[in-house]
Amino acid sequence: MGGEGKRPFTVEMSEEARVSLISGVPHDRDFPSSTNSAVAEDPQNACIFFDLDGTWFRWQLFDEWIKAMIREGLFPEIVYLLSEEARLAYQNREGKFSEWMKQQVEAYSIYLQGVRVDHARFVAHKVIQERGKRVHVFTRGLSEAAAMVGYQRAIISGSPQAVVHAFAEANGISIFLGTEHEELDGEYTGVTLKEWVNNKTLAVLHLAELHNIELSASVAIGDSYGDHLMLEKVGFPICFNPEKRLRNLALERGWLIVVEKKDCLHIYRRQDGVDKIVKLDEYLPQPLAEQLSELLMA
């Protein structure tokens, strides 16, 4: 965000609703999502599930980690070059993110063999120290609001576990799932054990059981179509800067859509075939919505 000092967000709204952040009308629908009456009696039984790359962190955290591993001499430069064509295609909107990510994982997994785990973790923490604050304001506010009102917070990401752990730790989050790589005697074997990003339904159900999370009272936020597997499992799905397929699904189902561009937010959902700007407290549980509104307007 350019400029000096702290700059408040501009939110698209009607004059009548300016005090309460965003105007709109209550919603109802016949599928399991987003009615702010579904609030856990104990907020600690509710959780905010965050996608990380592109949703919270403004770029791809795994990409930053790979480049840092190359700079530190732990990966050869070929690791980045092997997926460069797919990366450029994605950046030019000519290719799919999933294809770039697939090639990245395949490339670095080969050269991960023999790398010391503590060295990879050191680089991950260094990346977060240098770039960890390059985040979207809405998602950062959602995390801070969740912590303030007592929600659990969880990250589900396709980035390597080492860098997801470092990001989670920096943000006071103890629940996270990243791409898991086999370790033996303090080194990586090069074997990829689990890519949770490929099945976020399984990831959400796994965490819900492990941490006694009430999914109907929980929130999830993501930006890519693959995130719908996570979004449809919770009571309050949020599509953040969504790609086209996810946006279309969100419009069909009436999910909340948040578009953040520079210092402006546009928050809306489709009701009765019409896209309508809505108040956060008409979609999210009230304590969470109120705290988030205060943070965004500060």
Which residues, in sequence order, are CB contacts of 69 under 8 Å at separation 6+?
A: 75, 79, 108, 115, 120, 123
Could you tell me whether strands 187-194 and 175-184 are parallel, antiparallel, or unpaired per DSSP bridges?
antiparallel
Structural domain tally of the chain?
Answer: 1
Residue 5 lies in a domain: no
> What distances in angstroms separate CA 45 from CA 39, 178, 193, one per listed residue?
9, 22, 29
Predicted confidence at residue 36, as pLDDT, reads 52
| Helix extents (H) in 21-160 | 61-71, 78-81, 84-91, 97-112, 117-131, 137-149
pLDDT in tens, 248-268: 999 999 999 999 998 899 999
The domain in which residue 78 lies consists of 10-297
| Average confidence score pLDDT of the chain | 86
Mean pLDDT across 111-117: 95
pLDDT in tens, 24-43: 333 333 333 444 545 555 67
pLDDT in tens, 132-180: 999 999 999 999 999 999 999 999 999 999 999 999 999 999 999 999 9
CA torsion 68-74-78-82 (nearest 10°) is -70
- Rounded CA-CA distance 89/221 in Å is 25
Residue 185 lies in a domain: yes
Q: What are phi and psi of 91, to 5 degrees?
A: -65, -30
> pTM score, two decimals?
0.84
Predicted confidence at residue 161, as pLDDT, reads 95
Residue 35 lies in a domain: yes
| Helix extents (H) in 113-261 | 117-131, 137-149, 161-170, 200-211, 228-231, 244-253
Residue 77 lies in a domain: yes
pLDDT higher for 98 or 263?
263
Q: Is 25 helix (H, G, I), strand (E, B) or coil?
A: coil
Residue 32 lies in a domain: yes
Predicted confidence at residue 38, as pLDDT, reads 52
Taking the CA of residue 66 as centre, how many other CA atoms within 13 Å lie in the half-sphere pointing to its CB?
Answer: 27
Torsion over CA: 163, 167, 168, 172 (sign): positive
Residue 190 lies in a domain: yes
Predicted confidence at residue 59, as pLDDT, reads 85
Residue 2 lies in a domain: no
Which amino acid, 276?
Answer: K
Which amino acid, 41?
Answer: E
Mean pLDDT across 46-64: 93
CATH code of residue 55: 3.40.50.1000
Mean pLDDT across 97-121: 87
